Amino acid sequence: MLMSIRDVHVSTETWRFHCVTCSHQWDQDFEARHSDGPAGSSIAWSLDGVASQPPWVDRTCPECRSVQVRALPPDTPIPRPR
């Protein structure tokens, strides 16, 4: 019997968000499960303990409900309002 082994690394990443419509800014902590196995590598995301899309997919501004939101990787400065 052949067993497959996966190497899993879990990290918490704080993503920054910027609404292009109203300039609201906020941070959210996502858990990223990085795994490497025989079929390749993958990342599974969760938000508040629930499986979620990656941080850059389907974000809505909590202030104005706009979907014109930029997701910025951890440690990226938020753009200044124009």
pLDDT tens for 23-40 read 999 999 999 998 876 667
What was the pLDDT predicted at 62? 95
Cβ distance 28 to 47 under 8 Å?
A: yes
What was the pLDDT predicted at 74? 75
Q: For the chain, which residues score pLDDT lower than 70?
A: 1-6, 37-39, 78-82
What was the pLDDT predicted at 19? 95
Sheet containing 25-37, strands listed edge to edge, beginning at the edge strand earlier in sequence: 50-52, 40-47, 25-37, 7-19, 69-72
Report domain extents, the chain: 8-72
What was the pLDDT predicted at 54? 93
Cβ distance 65 to 34 under 8 Å?
A: no
